[in-house]
């Protein structure tokens, strides 16, 4: 094979983090030919959350080049030409199949080799699939997952072919919720199935979830909580025709969408780097156990500075963006510690929620307002310290405010706070 091509900086993975890192490198003033991005995907980095939102709904729906990074945070749209103009080698449709940290060499699926001085690993996650779990019938056609643009294109076409028909959504997390909303908005009726007691179980309290579940039912979504998926049935052509649940129920449908979680893509380096919580352990400067290799986004397990450096791995876009920019700062000499305030959001139908902060077991959630349409919730510790904040249908100013509250963690008089009756009163309670 050919001699290895030398780069000063290489990013493995061409997702959200790669796009934000590329912009940061250019802002720092890199020279042409110093940076390469290697991506399995065929397109330049884009805002992945769009795939379950604008890509599936809207008239016209969102399509590339409309949602390349960094438009999701109101930034410049980095078109494929942008990379060329800045002398960044965007190596698309190529996977890195091997990394040798001792010689700082990457082997690509194309047979080429690439050398780096500093490496940023941003390989993201893959959807957990029922085939991996060995479920009977899981390889039938018509069972969809949603992680990349190819998945989204296939799902979009399937939805268009299903207008007026039934679909099944497996999973009650944000992917399941967003896809169910997109189906209904495309005149496809659907049943959501998940084993948990309520939607978004990892974040929502039963009370918050109730508002969303009632709202979903009003939109015509059927919700089956408790049973989980056991197997799939299909026809002689190998196409799915239904889902069998653990309680024996059979749902008939030839369109099934699965959102049951993600697994970080760490295989390349899991024998070379120190691992924690299924991710690459990084320090406050986002360096892995090899100081020339940074890990950012879904694959990185990092100390949460705000919470006594408790380790966390976060599969959310805000973290991918911020870690990417932070790693580039460090490469250019900053010693600042990464200081992430956990932030999650979703948009479904005409609704939009945001969450900031933490939901420790010893905190109680107080909910204000009835979601008509606004809702405000706070997680408060026994001593009155507010640690987490949530809004539905809030104004941008209110969203800024709840971010600040979660960052500052004020100690409040719980009895006085509890006296607030509406979302506005609750929000106005805080200065
Ligand atoms: P990714 O964006 O996944 O990028 C990883 C890239 O690496 C991909 O291009 C992949 O092909 C490539 N790659 C992997 N292995 C290799 C290899 N060996 N060689 C070359 N390339 C490789 N988060 C939120 O906070 N809010 C949301 O509303 C939200 N919505 C989402 C909706 C969907 C449908 C999905 C799938 C995710 C959503 N997320 C959301 C999560 C968010 O998109 C991710 O946390 C974020 O994309 C992580 O960025 P990343 O750069 O770490 O990984």
- Give me ligand 1 centre to Cα 321, in Å: 11
- Give me ligand 1 centre to Cα 421, in Å: 39
Q: Provide the 10 A C-beta neighbour count for residue 219.
A: 15
What is the distance between the alpha carbons of residues 306 and 358, in angstroms, rounded to a whole number?
10
Number of H helices, E strands in the chain: 9, 28
**Token pair for residue 340?**
């992430």
- Give me ligand 1 centre to Cα 429, in Å: 37
Q: Does the Cβ of 45 fall within 6 Å of ligand 1?
A: no
What is the distance between the alpha carbons of residues 242 and 253, in angstroms, rounded to a whole number?
5
Backbone Cα Rg of the chain: 23
Q: Does the Cβ of 49 fall within 6 Å of ligand 1?
A: yes
β-pair partners for 311: 303
Which residue's C-alpha comes closest to atom 30 of ligand 1?
49
Counting other chains too, the contacts that 62-66 makes at CB distance below 8 Å and 24 or more residues apart are: 64/149
- For residue 371, what pLDDT is reported? 80
Torsion sign, CA atoms 133, 137, 140, 143: negative
- For residue 2, what pLDDT is reported? 61
φ, ψ (nearest 5 deg) of residue 181: -60, -45
**CA of 422: how far to CAs of 152, 393, 397, 418, in Å?**
39, 13, 17, 10
- For residue 59, what pLDDT is reported? 87
User: Is ipTM strictly over 0.90?
Assistant: yes
One pLDDT digit (tens) per residue for the chain, 431 residues:
467 899 999 999 999 999 999 999 999 999 999 999 999 999 999 999 999 999 999 889 999 999 999 999 999 999 999 999 999 999 999 999 999 999 999 999 999 999 999 999 999 999 999 999 999 999 999 999 999 999 999 999 999 999 999 999 999 999 999 999 999 999 999 999 999 999 999 999 999 999 999 999 999 999 999 999 999 999 999 999 999 999 999 999 999 999 999 999 999 999 999 999 999 999 999 999 999 999 999 999 999 999 999 999 999 999 999 999 999 999 999 999 999 999 999 999 999 999 999 999 999 999 999 887 899 999 999 999 999 999 999 999 999 999 999 999 999 999 999 999 999 999 999 98
- Give me ligand 1 centre to Cα 20, in Å: 12
- For residue 139, what pLDDT is reported? 97
Mutate to test the pocket of ligand 1, among 61, 124, 300 (most ligand atoms within 8 A of CB): 124
What is the distance between the alpha carbons of residues 256 and 250, in angstroms, rounded to a whole number?
13
- For residue 77, what pLDDT is reported? 98
- Give me ligand 1 centre to Cα 322, in Å: 14
What is the distance between the alpha carbons of residues 249 and 170, in angstroms, rounded to a whole number?
14
- For residue 373, what pLDDT is reported? 83
Q: Does the Cβ of 17 fall within 6 Å of ligand 1?
A: yes
Ligand 1 atom at minimum distance from 127 CA: 36
Q: What is the pTM of this model?
A: 0.97
Half-sphere exposure of 149 (CA within 13 A, CB side): 20
Tens of pLDDT, residue by residue over 296-349, are 999 999 999 999 999 999 999 999 999 999 999 999 999 999 999 999 999 999
Tens of pLDDT, residue by residue over 104-120, are 999 999 999 999 999 99
CA angle (95 as vertex; 93, 99 as ends), nearest 5: 155
Residue 261 per-residue DSSP state: -
- Give me ligand 1 centre to Cα 15, in Å: 5
- For residue 58, what pLDDT is reported? 85
- Give the closest residue to 373 by CA, choosing from 353, 389, 396: 353
Half-sphere exposure of 321 (CA within 13 A, CB side): 18
Q: Does the Cβ of 13 fall within 6 Å of ligand 1?
A: yes
């Amino acid at each position: 094979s050919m001699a290895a091509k030398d780069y000063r900086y290489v990013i493995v993975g061409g997702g959200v983090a790669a796009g934000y890192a590329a912009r940061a490198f250019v802002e720092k003033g890199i020279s042409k030919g110093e940076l390469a991005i290697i991506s399995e995907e065929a397109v330049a980095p884009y805002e992945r959350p769009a795939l379950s939102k604008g890509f599936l709904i809207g008239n016209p729906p969102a399509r590339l080049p409309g949602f390349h990074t960094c438009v999701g945070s109101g930034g410049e749209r980095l078109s494929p030409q942008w990379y060329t103009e800045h002398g960044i080698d965007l190596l698309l449709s190529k996977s890195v199949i091997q990394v040798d940290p001792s010689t700082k060499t990457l082997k690509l699926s194309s047979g080429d080799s690439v050398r780096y001085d500093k490496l940023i690993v941003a390989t993201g996650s893959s959807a957990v699939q029922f085939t991996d779990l060995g479920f009977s019938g899981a390889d039938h056609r018509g069972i969809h997952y949603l992680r990349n643009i190819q998945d989204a294109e296939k799902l979009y076409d399937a939805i268009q072919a299903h207008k007026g028909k039934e679909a099944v959504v497996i999973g009650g997390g944000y992917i399941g919720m967003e896809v169910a909303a997109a189906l209904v908005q495309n005149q496809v009726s659907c049943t959501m199935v998940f084993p948990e007691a309520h939607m978004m179980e990892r974040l929502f309290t039963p009370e918050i979830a109730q508002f969303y579940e009632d709202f979903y039912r009003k939109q015509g979504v059927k919700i089956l909580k408790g049973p989980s998926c056991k197997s799939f049935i299909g026809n002689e052509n190998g196409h799915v025709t239904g889902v069998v649940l653990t309680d024996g129920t059979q749902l008939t449908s030839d369109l099934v969408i699965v959102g049951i979680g993600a697994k970080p893509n760490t295989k390349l380096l899991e024998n070379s780097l120190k691992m924690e919580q299924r991710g690459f352990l990084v320090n406050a400067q986002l360096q892995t156990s090899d100081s020339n290799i940074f890990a950012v986004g879904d694959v990185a397990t990092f100390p949460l500075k705000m919470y006594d450096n408790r380790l966390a791995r976060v599969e959310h876009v805000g973290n991918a963006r911020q870690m990417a920019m932070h790693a580039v700062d460090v490469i250019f000499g900053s010693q600042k510690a990464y200081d992430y305030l956990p932030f999650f959001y979703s948009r479904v139908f005409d609704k939009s929620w945001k969450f900031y902060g933490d939901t420790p077991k010893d905190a109680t959630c107080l909910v204000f307002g009835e979601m008509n349409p606004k809702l405000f919730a706070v997680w408060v510790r026994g001593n009155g310290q507010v640690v987490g904040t949530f809004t539905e249908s809030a104004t941008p100013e209110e969203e800024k405010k709840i971010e600040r509250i979660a960052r500052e963690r004020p100690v409040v008089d719980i009895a006085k706070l509890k006296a607030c009756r509406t979302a506005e009163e609750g929000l106005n309670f805080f200065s």
